[in-house]
Structure 1
């Protein structure tokens, strides 16, 4: 590539990524040369400022025409901008939790590494959201994955953290290999890694053996991505990782990493496989394989909610809850309704605030506990009515009670499952049934919070960052539940139903 071509690109499209990358470089150098006595939390505030700056920059890019640079490997369209907003908001709130995080074993020696690895993982998901090429997509995925493996094991003197990091690395490596193997089949048949060119090449294929290999590649990619979103039967890493990882990392994985998984799913499913004909040549390959996705979605909802009933550790309970929510989101993917992307965007946004708010409350209320048991929240209403009421609102939203954003999100998924042909009555019924099951374990925690006597009187100390996260999450959860059109009007007014996604 000559200098003239290099300078001709519209590099402003990558401004948010450049901000994060620049701060990562600065943080790594500062952490290397600053004395050990220097308060590394200041590096956390610098990280938070960079995320906010990147978020502001993303908002300034709204309304621009789609931009493709670097031979269409990086694409800035309405889809990328909309999901980068979610990613950056989630990362900003998780960073606030990280700044105020104080485990029993001190992290001061590694706190600087914590912040710039956090930003590196964020950079990976941002690259994934704008990927127009399988190589760029895979690089972003690995940037997220490798950073996440290290972050999970950051509590080096805490044995469960070491165990969860090892399990995460092994399972993640296997899932990555399977995904890459599936991608290699698609590349071998299409002769290109560019998603746009790949769709055009695969749409013209009519040879049965090639279509069979593409179906096999699709299933392998589904296996790899099912691990990333913790869908059954590739979910077993999630409870151990959620329990052992530092709490801000658990929060990051539960919202940002899950959002990243669905970003890849949308990019590959719609961008590539929707254009591929099935073996009969009368339908799309992805539509002919809906039953496989439906089985995964149904099993994920059932197992996630049923196993959550048996959990006494609240982080493990939330892990299985996260698995169940992945099942709800997969219902929207399986139904493949015309408003699938809008439904996923709203639900992931609502889930972001609900979950981060809950983790912020756990961090404040049980910061001294190594194993966060549900009975440790007994009598929380007596010691802190603010935390108790906030937890109740967020749990009611996770359960899908009317008047909350969680209800609106599930209603959209339910309507999407019933608005397509063929109609997915079984998935819609499972969605309702498993939602009712989830009431049991959510309300069990709330019963302990409001109606049980505390095991011991403890004084709860509030950190300003955690209070900001809790207050913001509760407010957004209620506002989007009462006035959901705020989000949908913003989406439709600025992103035109993602019409430029496959252009």
Structure 2
């Protein structure tokens, strides 16, 4: 089988190649520019590179058949393209909101800060298109190693150094666990291709028995860390708090989305409908484990968020809870009465990205005004910046799942999917934890409208921060007004048997 990339294949890799070329060119510009020259405009070049990459992804949507590259190890299909659009859009907004807020005294290598997001984004896109364990691990480590560097960019802050140390140690352990799980799959089948692994396991499942369970739970533990699902979540609050705010936003949205993308692919391409014997139904046990992980994440994340006074830590625990919500469409599996799992997952992923990026834009404003990210800094915000407070309310309503917002319909679609597949207990956990989340989400509204703040202190916010907040608030509301349009658009592009399964 031909392994090398042909010249005709480069067009299919245009989104990834655009990011590579952009990162190289911007780094060379940074290298040759005089030391006294300003470098803030390099962020705009990074955003431009992301925009061009997104155009190439949009042009590739609607493929009749998936494109297989590098000996079927890299797969360009509409599943990957849809995920890539979220990754690209979220990274562009993250970079945009950071313009004008990255200070030289806090991040000495500001220019590197801007273009290091590109290789991290590239790693996430490689993960989305991976159809081979080796390609997957390359993308995973590219995303991971670059993220470690970004977390520690604020070298003058001890809390940032501590966060980077914790992240690299725990991230290295999780990568080792994933690699160990992959080694079992390779040992059982003699291949690293996901489709061939499925075929090999399906033909000889009864011979492997417990080894299949070992491989699954090792991979689940490793990817559980990457998506910050409980009980693999302990790193998230400390890392979010210590990392520069744009980096925390990137980890909360882009890194998590990339982890979900490959988890979705592996679960359904390797373990779906796989049973060793009638007494050992691996597929059923795997989806039950995912359901339990989702429930534990929803419960732990929401209840632990109740005590948080720091906005970054609150978003970390909120992200753990949302990891549980996003796991539900994966955990309930496909059935004759319900096969729209991916469109439900994708809709809520968009809503989740908008909600979180909006709050992170608010945190950047708060840090610029009060010098910290504590919720008390929001006191009296309505009197100091009424329009900003109004936008925050829209974002918070979506986070809480209030009716006629993207967050509300995202949870409703997932909840209905769980009910259709008779996962009643999981639906009950969703409802219960969503009610709990109202308390800490509306605590932010209470601070803005019902607490007295320092009215004399002006509210500082850059134009990119305000624009990002309003983009997230506006799109979150539009997502709620036209949920059917979004779902229909996704379902018109995505085909389950063609785009998700690799066998």
TM-score range, shorter chain: over 0.9
Determine if contact 2:265/2:501 at 8 Å carries over to the other structure: no
Determine if contact 1:101/1:248 at 8 Å carries over to the other structure: no
Once the two structures are superposed, the pairs formed by residues 4-403 of structure 1 within 5 Å of their partners are 6-7=5-6, 9-64=8-63, 65-103=65-103, 105-107=105-107, 109-208=108-207, 210-280=208-278, 283=281, 285-337=282-334, 338-403=339-404
Instruction: Quote the offset at 1:497 in angstroms.
Output: 4.9
Question: Distance in 2 between the 1:305 and 1:466 partners?
Answer: 27
- TM-score (normalised: structure 1): 0.95
> Bigger shift: 457-466 or 266-275?
457-466
Determine if contact 1:491/1:497 at 8 Å carries over to the other structure: no
Instruction: Quote the offset at 1:333 in angstroms.
Output: 1.8
Determine if contact 1:199/1:275 at 8 Å carries over to the other structure: no
Determine if contact 2:394/2:473 at 8 Å carries over to the other structure: yes
Instruction: Quote the offset at 1:289 in angstroms.
Output: 2.6
Instruction: Quote the offset at 1:2 in angstroms.
Output: 8.6
Question: Distance in 1 between the 2:291 and 2:496 partners?
Answer: 25
Instruction: Quote the offset at 1:113 in angstroms.
Output: 1.2
Deviations 1:461-502 (A, max 9, x none): 332222221121111100111111221122122234564322
Determine if contact 1:78/1:498 at 8 Å carries over to the other structure: no
Change (3 A) 1:500 1:296: closer
Determine if contact 1:79/1:498 at 8 Å carries over to the other structure: no
Question: Distance in 2 between the 1:191 and 1:275 partners?
Answer: 21
Corresponding residue for 2:488?
489
Change (3 A) 1:389 1:136: same
Change (3 A) 1:57 1:310: same
Instruction: Quote the offset at 1:419 in angstroms.
Output: 1.2
Determine if contact 1:9/1:70 at 8 Å carries over to the other structure: no
Deviations 1:380-408 (A, max 9, x none): 00011111111111111111111100011
Determine if contact 1:202/1:275 at 8 Å carries over to the other structure: no
Determine if contact 1:102/1:367 at 8 Å carries over to the other structure: no
Deviations 1:191-218 (A, max 9, x none): 100111111111111434x131011100
Change (3 A) 1:30 1:403: same
Determine if contact 2:380/2:453 at 8 Å carries over to the other structure: yes
Question: Distance in 2 between the 1:281 and 1:134 partners?
Answer: 29
Question: Distance in 2 between the 1:325 and 1:282 partners?
Answer: 31
The alignment partner of 2:56 has SS state of helix
Change (3 A) 1:413 1:278: farther
Question: Distance in 1 between the 2:7 and 2:56 partners?
Answer: 21
The alignment partner of 2:13 has SS state of helix
The alignment partner of 1:457 has SS state of coil
Determine if contact 2:384/2:455 at 8 Å carries over to the other structure: no
Question: Distance in 1 between the 2:279 and 2:75 partners?
Answer: 30
Question: Distance in 2 between the 1:143 and 1:44 partners?
Answer: 20
The alignment partner of 1:75 has SS state of strand
Question: Distance in 2 between the 1:498 and 1:150 partners?
Answer: 38
The alignment partner of 2:6 has SS state of helix
Change (3 A) 1:51 1:489: same
- TM-score (normalised: structure 2): 0.95
5+ residue gaps, structure 2: none
Change (3 A) 1:278 1:412: farther
Instruction: Quote the offset at 1:427 in angstroms.
Output: 1.1
Question: Distance in 2 between the 1:228 and 1:363 partners?
Answer: 24
Determine if contact 1:103/1:367 at 8 Å carries over to the other structure: no
Instruction: Quote the offset at 1:460 in angstroms.
Output: 2.3
What is the aligned length? 497
5+ residue gaps, structure 1: none
Determine if contact 1:405/1:481 at 8 Å carries over to the other structure: yes
The alignment partner of 1:13 has SS state of coil
Question: Distance in 1 between the 2:385 and 2:83 partners?
Answer: 35
The alignment partner of 2:454 has SS state of coil
Change (3 A) 1:206 1:229: closer
Question: Distance in 1 between the 2:139 and 2:30 partners?
Answer: 24
Determine if contact 2:106/2:156 at 8 Å carries over to the other structure: no
Deviations 1:164-220 (A, max 9, x none): 111111111111111110010001101100111111111111434x13101110001
> Bigger shift: 366-375 or 72-81?
366-375
Change (3 A) 1:117 1:104: closer
Instruction: Let me know the Cα RMSD of the aligned residues.
Output: 1.8
